[in-house]
Amino acid sequence: MTDFEKTRSLFYLPEGIIYLDGNSLGPLPLAAKDRVARLMTEEWGELLIKGWNKAGWMTMPRRIGDRVGRLIGAEPGTVVMGDTLSIKVYQALASALELVPRRKVVLSDSGNFPSDLYMAEGLIGSLGRGHELKIVEPEEVEAAIDETVAVLMLTEVDYRTGRLHDMKTLTKKAHSVGAIAVWDLAHTAGALPVDLAGAEADFAVGCTYKYLNGGPGAPAFIYVAPRHAEKVRPALSGWLGHESPFAFELGYRPGGGIDRMRVGTPPILGLAALDAALDAWEGVDMQDVRRQSIRLCDLFVAEVEERCPSLKLGSPRDGERRGSQISFLHEEGYAIMQALIARGVIGDFRAPNAIRFGFTPLYIGEQDVIKAVDILQDIMTNRLWDTAEYRQRALVT
Amino acid sequence: MTDFEKTRSLFYLPEGIIYLDGNSLGPLPLAAKDRVARLMTEEWGELLIKGWNKAGWMTMPRRIGDRVGRLIGAEPGTVVMGDTLSIKVYQALASALELVPRRKVVLSDSGNFPSDLYMAEGLIGSLGRGHELKIVEPEEVEAAIDETVAVLMLTEVDYRTGRLHDMKTLTKKAHSVGAIAVWDLAHTAGALPVDLAGAEADFAVGCTYKYLNGGPGAPAFIYVAPRHAEKVRPALSGWLGHESPFAFELGYRPGGGIDRMRVGTPPILGLAALDAALDAWEGVDMQDVRRQSIRLCDLFVAEVEERCPSLKLGSPRDGERRGSQISFLHEEGYAIMQALIARGVIGDFRAPNAIRFGFTPLYIGEQDVIKAVDILQDIMTNRLWDTAEYRQRALVT
C-alpha cells in the first residue's frame, strides 16, 4: 500500500494553505530544492563544461524520460524529455501526419487544451497541403473517427471539466480506420494510471509541472511507439536528435528511435528539479493514487453540493469518467476563486465560469478537503466574494 | 571604463582552474546561485501557482528579452526568451520564408552551426514546396547572394574558427536583392558589440549559456525587426503567443509584435538563473569587452605560436575579423585537450582537429592566458598528451 503520510512529508506546503492547484503547478518537493542547489554549486559551479559528461547532463533527457515512462505505461527507451508541451505536440503531430500521407483530417475536440489546437493550426498552415483541423464536441469524437481521419489528436483529461476520454477504445477505433492516435497526457501523467503500450497509443506528449511536480515551466515529454520510432522523420530536426551530434556533419541523419525526438540543448536546471521531484513516486502504486483521488474528489463533490447549492457541478459525477480534478460552475466564479485564495484555499479559474480544484493524494488528504469546503461554504453563504477587489480580473493561469 | 576586477568577483571560478570554455558554457555567477535558491523556496515554495503573477514569472520572457536586447543593439520590445536555439532558428526561418513566398533558396555556409542547417533541412522537408538549402563556404557567401535567395541564414561567428561575418555588409547585400537576413548570434551575444537595429537585421536568434553565462541549457532568444513583427505568421503558434492566452479560444490569433514568438510555458528556473547572470553586464561597456577580448586573444596567439610551433592557428589572425575565441589545429587535438583539462586548463575540442579556447574578459585576464600557455607548452614539449587515456574519446560537447 502506498504510504501517503510519507509522500506528503516530501513536499513543502506553506502553513495555512490548502493547495488544490497541483493540477496546474505541483508544490515544491524538498528534494528538488536540494538537488537544484547541488546542481548550481557542485555541478555547474565546480564541473563547468565537464558537467555534460561527468554529471550526466547529456543523458538526462533519456534517463528521466524512462522515469516518466514508468508512470504512463511506456516501454523503456520510448520517452524523452525536452522543450515545452506545445513543441512536443507539434513534433508528434508532424510525425504522425507523415505516417498517413494521403489523408487530410486532424480530428480533435473542443475539450482539448487550446495550445494543442493552435500548434496543429500552425503546422497545417506551414505544410500548406490542404490539411484540415476538425474540432468536434468531446462526446462526438468516437462517431467522427472515420476513414478521412489521418490523426486523432486528443487530450485524455479535459483541462476544464476533468472529463476522461477512453484512450484504449478511441485508439482502437482510430486504428480500425487506419488513423494514428496522438494523446496529450498533460492532466493524466501522475494523476491516474496510464497504459500507453497496452492501449497501443502511437504518440503521446505531456508536461511535468502539474501532477509530476517538476516546477514552473518544467520540461515536457514525448513518447513514440516502438513500431514507429525508426520510421518517423522529425520535423524539428535539431542537433541532439542527430545520429552523431558531435560529428558536426552538415547534413541531418536521424538518431536511433526516440533519440531523434531530441532537438536542442536540454534545460538542465529544469531537468534536475524534475528528476528529484520524481523521487516522490518511488514506492507509489498508481492504482492506490487513483483510488484515493476518486475518494477525495467524491468527498469534495458531496460536501460542496450539500453545503453550497448555488455551485453547479461541471465535472462528470462518475469518478471513473474523470481525471483528478473537479470543477464547479458559477457566473461569479472568478471572484469566488479570489475569495478562496485570500482565505488560503488555492484552486484556479478557467473562463468563462469554472472554479477548478485538483486533488493530489501525494500531499492532499480528507482533512484538507473538509477544511476547504468549510471555507468555500462561508464564502458562498455570506457572499464574501462580492467585493470590487475580488471581481477585478488579473492575468490568471 | 569597465571594471573587470569587479566583474570577475561576480563569478565562482574553481581553485586551480583556468576556464577558457566560457564560449561553450559560462561559469556560475554567484548571483544566479542565490537567485535560483530564492526562486525555489520563496517563489515556487511559498507562492505556488501565484508565482506566475506575483513573482512576475509570466512576464520574464519579455523583461529578460529586453535585457538581452540591450547587449545586441535591439530596440526595446523586440526580443523574447524561450525554448532552445534550434527551435528559435526554426521559428525565424519559417517566418522569414513567408515574407518572400516566391523564392526557394535558403543560403547558408559550412561554418554555420550544424543544428541551424538541420533545422532548416527539417523545415524545408515539412514545407514540401521545393525549397533548397544551399550551403557554400564562408568566404563565398557574399558572391552567392543573388535574386534566387529567399533567406540568408548565417551564424555571425563561426563556432569552430571564430571567423566573423560582416553582418552589416551581408545584410545590406541581402536586402539589395530582396532577400531576408536571419542571424544566429550564439557566439556573438556577450562576446562583441552587435547592432541589430543599425545593421537592419530582419531576424536574429541566439543562446544564453555561452558568453551570457545563463547556465546549462539556458533559454534562447529571438529578435524580430519591428517592421516585420506584426506581419509574420508564427509556424510554432503556441498559446502564450496568442493575443489572449487566458481566453482559451479554440482558434489562434497572433499576439502583438514579438509576443507571437512565445510558444509554450516558459522555463522559469532557467530564466531566473539567466536573469541574475545578466546582472554582471550592468555597467559593462561592450566596446571595452571587445578591446580586452582582442588583447587576450592576440596575446594567446602570439604566445602559443612562439612556444608551441606544432600547433597551427585555425582562427583569423586579425582580431577585427574574429569573435572572442581562438582555435589551434593539430591532428592529436583531442588528446591534447584532454591533457590540458587534466592540468586544469579547460577549453574544448571540435572535430576533426581543433582545440578551441574562449576568452571572456568578464572573468579571464592576462595572467590566466600566460599560465594556460605555460601548461600547453609543457604538454606539447613533453608530449604529455600521448597516453592511451587521453586518446580515448568520450562524448564531448
Cα A80 from Cα A257, distance rounded (Å): 10
> How far from the centroid of its chain's Cα atoms is residue B74's Cα?
15
To the nearest 10 degrees (0 to 180), the angle between helices A286-307 and A366-381 is: 20
What is the pLDDT at residue B394?
Answer: 61
**A150 with A179: CB under 8 angstroms?**
yes
Does A395 have pLDDT greater than 60?
no
What is the pLDDT at residue B397?
Answer: 43
Which amino acid does the sequence have at B317? R
Q: Which residues of A touch B111 (CB under 8 A)?
A: none
Residue A118 is nearest to which of B48, B215, B237, comparing CB atoms? B237
In CATH, which superfamily holds the domain spanning A4-29+285-391? Aspartate Aminotransferase, domain 1 (3.90.1150.10)
Q: What is the mean pLDDT of chain A?
A: 97
Measured between alpha carbons, how far is residue A78 from residues A124, A194, A197 in Å? 26, 15, 10
Does A396 have pLDDT greater than 70?
no
DSSP class of residue A363 equals T
At A353 the three-state DSSP class reads coil
B356 is catalytic: yes
Domain boundaries, chain B: 4-28+285-391, 56-281
Give residue-wise pLDDT tens across range B287-323.
Answer: 999 999 999 999 999 999 999 999 999 999 999 999 9
Which one has a higher pLDDT value, A259 or B397? A259
A306 phi-psi bin (left φ>0, alpha ψ -120 to 50, beta other): alpha
Residue of A nearest to B254 (CA): A118
| CATH number belonging to domain B4-28+285-391 | 3.90.1150.10
Can you read off the three cell numbers belonging to residue A240?
541532439
For cell 592529436, name the residue.
B332
Does A172 have pLDDT greater than 50?
yes
Give residue-wise pLDDT tens across range A306-359.
Answer: 999 999 999 999 999 999 999 999 999 999 999 999 999 999 999 889 999 999
pLDDT along chain B (397 residues), means of 10: 96 98 98 98 98 97 98 98 98 97 97 97 96 98 98 97 98 98 98 98 98 98 98 96 94 97 98 98 97 98 98 98 98 97 96 95 98 98 95 64
A356 is catalytic: yes
The per-residue DSSP string of B80-129 comes to: EE-S-HHHHHHHHHHHHHHHSTT--EEEEETTS-HHHHHHHHHHHHHH-S
Q: Which residues of A touch B263 (CB under 8 A)?
A: 84, 86-87
What is the pLDDT at residue B205?
Answer: 98
Terminal alpha carbon distance of chain A: 35
What is the pLDDT at residue A249?
Answer: 94
Q: Which residues of A touch B250 (CB under 8 A)?
A: 110, 114, 117, 135
* Residues A33, B40: C-beta atoms closer than 8 Å: yes
* Residues B238, A94: C-beta atoms closer than 8 Å: no
- Stated length of chain A: 397
Tell me the CATH number of domain B56-281, given options 3.40.50.1970, 3.40.50.720, 3.40.605.10, 3.40.640.10: 3.40.640.10
Give residue-wise pLDDT tens across range A204-239.
Answer: 999 999 999 999 999 999 999 999 999 999 999 999
> How far from the centroid of its chain's Cα atoms is residue B312's Cα?
25
Q: What is the mean pLDDT of residues A41-62?
A: 97
Residue of A nearest to B18 (CA): A48
Does A78 have pLDDT greater than 80?
yes
Q: A282 — phi, psi (to 5°)?
A: -65, 130
Residue A118 is nearest to which of B117, B119, B242, comparing CB atoms? B242
What is the pLDDT at residue A392?
Answer: 83
B113 is catalytic: yes
What is the pLDDT at residue A394?
Answer: 61
What is the pLDDT at residue A393?
Answer: 74
pTM for the model stands at 0.97
